[in-house]
A and B are shown apart, each in its own frame.
Chain A
Amino acid sequence: MTIYSLYIYDRHCACVYYQDWHRTVRPKLAVEGGLLPAVYAPVYPSTNPDDASYSNRNTLASSSGVVVAVNEDVPRTPLPTQSSHSPIAQLPPPPTSSLSFDEEAKLVYGVVLSLRNMIKKLSGKDEQFTNYQTSTYKLHLYETLSGYKFVMLSDPNADSLRFVLRQIYSGPFLEYVVRNPLVEMDSRERGIDNEYFRMSTDRLVRGLTVFQ
């Protein structure tokens, strides 16, 4: 039992956040212009230094004043995914997905949206699509009233994880995205990635019993 990855989409169909855990097939670098900045740094095709500094400044600014606490926290809950993945070029040659990350994100969104419409059509009422299962993974969806879609990929045998997605929404997301004045929500130009959100989501997911 494990959890593989988390995608968050805003109501404009754009992927605004991504995080992964036990994923063995690495996502491939997104193509230029295919992905918003501040979604997931390791796959962002960042060749523009201005952009990079801007995103740094954003995360720094948003966490100024509490940085000490964060640094203390880091060793206690190490983030191997983050620390080892950020320099993506230095990774040992892992199996890389045949899809670039932006394509992958679009496909996930497409599948989720089609299934959501199909379930609505079939049920004849406002019934939600909750999850689907293949031989190797299970995809869960939680959609907020404001149109944000939380998508999680887990082990195929996991129970429904909608409650986890709801927890991410009502916990870290509200706390560090909605209430964070430096996150431009609904901007269509930037993702919502910031260090606090990433870390507290990570902590929440790692604390789950299905996460091993």
Chain B
Amino acid sequence: MAIFGLWVINKAGGLVYERSFGDGLPHLTSNEYLVLAGTLHGIHAITSRLSPTGSSSGAHVISGETFKMNILLTATGTKFVLLTSLVEPTADSMLQKVYEIYADAVMKNPFHTPEMPIRSEAFDTRITTLLG
């Protein structure tokens, strides 16, 4: 039961927000995160084409041996990725709450430019309160 990180990826595959929590996973440079987010964006699109039984969503959960990546794709193409420990039953509801905070603190903020990196103190604060 632990949360390691949160990414927000815009609809073009660019990483617009990255936060790491705790020391569960090593901290990479922002450039490395950018590359990983871009890769994930591409993989996500491919995974929906590999379905053996007709149309499919992209990957929801990607698991390693000690952690997993939970992915929420919104109707507008923004992806929220939550890195958690393998047993984290609240990951989906957390992602919904993050989406809600994003809608409030980012999209309603006149000083945010859509698709650009998120620099909103209110978003930071509320994410810290939620995921700490």
Find out whether A and B make contact in their complex, taking CB atoms under 8 A apart as touching.
Answer: yes
Interface code B37-64, partner A: CB below 8 Å = 1, 0 otherwise? 0011011001111111111111111111
A63 within 8 A of B: no
Measured CB to CB, the closest approach of chain A to B74, in angstroms, equals 15
Question: With the chains together, A163 CA to B40 CA distance in Å?
Answer: 26
Q: How far, in Å, is B23 (CB) from chain A's closest CB?
A: 11
Contact call A130/B64, Cβ cutoff below 8 A: yes
The distance from the CB of B35 to the nearest CB of chain A, in whole angstroms, is 9
The residues in A between 25 and 71 inclusive whose CB is less than 8 angstroms from any CB of B are 25
A-B contact count (CB 8 A): 109
Contact of B46 among A110, A123, A128 (CB under 8 A): A110
- How far, in whole Å, are A5 and B53 apart by their CA atoms in the complex? 11
In the complex, what's the smallest C-beta–C-beta distance from B93 to chain A, in angstroms?
A: 17
Q: B-side binding surface: helix, strand, loop or mixed? A: loop
Let me know if A135 is at the binding interface, CB within 8 A: yes
Task: Please give me the residue from chain A that is nearest to B39 by CB atom.
Answer: A114
Q: What is the CB-to-nearest-CB distance from B68 to chain A, in angstroms, rounded to a whole number?
A: 9
The answer to whether B63 and A134 have CB atoms under 8 Å apart is no
Give residues of chain A (111-161) contacting chain B, Cβ–Cβ below 8 Å.
111, 114-115, 117-119, 121-124, 127-137, 139, 153
B34 at the binding interface (Cβ < 8 Å): no
Chain B: interface residue total (CB-CB under 8 A): 32
Give which listed residue, A111, A129, A139, contacts B64 with CB less than 8 A.
Answer: A129
List A contacts of B54 (CB < 8 A). 24-25, 95, 136
A114→B65 contact, CB < 8 A: no
Is the CB–CB distance between A107 and B50 below 8 Å?
A: yes
B72 lies within 8 A of chain A by Cβ: no
Query: Are B26 and A124 closer than 8 Å at their CB atoms?
Result: yes
Q: A212 CB to closest chain B CB, in angstroms? A: 15
Query: Do A134 and B64 touch (CB < 8 A)?
Result: no
Q: From DSSP, what is the main secondary structure of chain A's interface residues?
A: mixed
**CA gap between A25 and B65 in the complex, in Å:** 31
Q: Does A188 contact B (CB under 8 A)?
A: no
Could you tell me the distance between the alpha carbons of A123 and B49 in the complex, rounded to whole angstroms? 27
Given A104-B50, A134-B60, 6 more A-B residue pairs with CB atoms under 8 Å apart are A23-B52, A111-B50, A124-B26, A129-B62, A129-B64, A134-B58
A108 within 8 A of B: yes
A211 CB within 8 Å of chain B = no
Determine whether the beta carbon of B25 is less than 8 Å from that of A123. Answer: yes
Q: Is the CB of A136 within 8 A of B56?
A: yes
